Amino acid sequence: MSNPYRVMLVDDSAVIRGFLARWLKEESDIEVVASVSNGAIAVRDFAKVKPDVVILDIEMPEMDGMTALPKLIQQDPDVKVIMASTLTVRNADISMKALAMGAADYIPKPESTRVAGDKEAFQRDLVEKVRALGARRRAKSGAAAPDRNTEVKPNTADRAKPSASGLYKNGEIILRKSTLSLMPEALAIGSSTGGPQALFKLFEKLKGTITKPIFITQHMPATFTSILAEHIAKIAGVTCKEAEDGEIVRDKQIYLAPGDWHMTVVKEGENVRIKLNQDPPENFCRPAVDPMLRSLNSAYGGRVVTVILTGMGHDGKQGSEVMAQSGAPVIAQDEASSVVWGMPGAVATSGLSTSVLPLEEIPTAISKAMTGRPV
């Protein structure tokens, strides 16, 4: 295939580089243009091989990933860097910092002793991220993408049509009007690729305004969700924690779905209670946004403000449909400010969102929506 996505592998383990290279080379639209053992070589060879995507290990001799990351981005601000990290608390914390420094995403690095069992899920995740981020890099730089349409695109086949219910076209995006007549009682946020960075920026602006409970599902493994909760808590200035099964929901708290668990809620008398489960993945994800949104809609009678941030695929679309049927406001991040416009794009192009906004404008829209004003 002509003009495939160009990938540089940077890892001191020849075994890991071999696994990654072999899996990526199975895809006709992806080419591994370099495979090097440390950050110093990556920085030296970067301009020569011109990668779209760099898969960068954290711990390496001579120059580690955190040192190499800003040097690579300095050479090409549009390059997409995926941090490869073993699932330790320390590396999860480093990965969160790398995302804040400009890395686009991360992957939990497969351990050579258990690669065989992880192969299918890991390979699918790796390939999808390379394609989505590669396509985004090509789009931003104006370069041509591979012949095939490889980016995870929103499904536009089922776009809603303008009707008397308030749907109307705004370019390619179809908006609807919220008909919620009661004050919202909760805020729900769904995100995936690029989500941690978006959440950090969101809560920087929401700090001091949080009065209702906030529920977040971010596609992320278990070790990482606990670290993400700590980072959000520091930024937001309120308690943010991994949700615990059976706990009663409180105002002014942020609940994050734990890795590998779906987070749902149930109404019990005057209380709303967290219920975690390990039901099958939805949209290849656990935790997934859709079960969270369905349960929130039921528990709060639709009195929920929903925000769908950057991410691959379409998780959150089905849950947003349920929210739309209740007349609740649904805010989608716009394409320009998204790392990948899959999840918000699926909502925005299906007539489910009441507004489609740049990330920097979403905090203001949330504040308005949480006080019952239209967005």
Q: Do β-strands 186-191 and 239-242 pair in parallel, antiparallel, or remain unpaired?
A: unpaired
Question: How many Å apart are CA 347 and CA 316, to the nearest integer?
Answer: 8
* CB-based burial label for 22 (10 Å; 0-12, 13-18, 19+): exposed
Annotation marks residue 219 as catalytic: yes
Asked whether the CA dihedral 277, 332, 347, 296 is positive or negative, the reply is positive
Smallest CA-to-CA distance from 207 within 175, 231, 237, 232 is with 237
Q: Which two tokens stand for residue 144?
A: 């041509």
**What count of other Cβ atoms lies within 10 Å of the Cβ of residue 49?**
15
* Catalytic-role residue among 29, 85, 191, 219: 219
Beta bridge partners, 54, equal 8, 81
* Catalytic-role residue among 315, 320, 334, 355: 315
> Please, what is the end-to-end C-alpha distance for the chain in angstroms?
45
* Catalytic-role residue among 37, 85, 178, 192: 192
Annotation marks residue 118 as catalytic: no
Q: Fill in the amino acid letter for 101.
A: M
Smallest CA-to-CA distance from 130 within 57, 220, 54 is with 54
**What count of other Cβ atoms lies within 10 Å of the Cβ of residue 20?**
25
Annotation marks residue 192 as catalytic: yes
Question: How many Å apart are CA 151 and CA 195, to the nearest integer?
Answer: 18
Question: How many Å apart are CA 254 and CA 246, to the nearest integer?
Answer: 16
3-class state of residue 108 by DSSP: strand
Q: Do β-strands 330-333 and 105-108 pair in parallel, antiparallel, or remain unpaired?
A: unpaired
In terms of phi and psi (left: phi > 0; alpha: psi -120 to 50; beta: otherwise), the region of 126 is alpha
Question: How many Å apart are CA 328 and CA 369, to the nearest integer?
Answer: 9
**Where in the sequence numbering do the catalytic residues fall?**
192, 219, 315
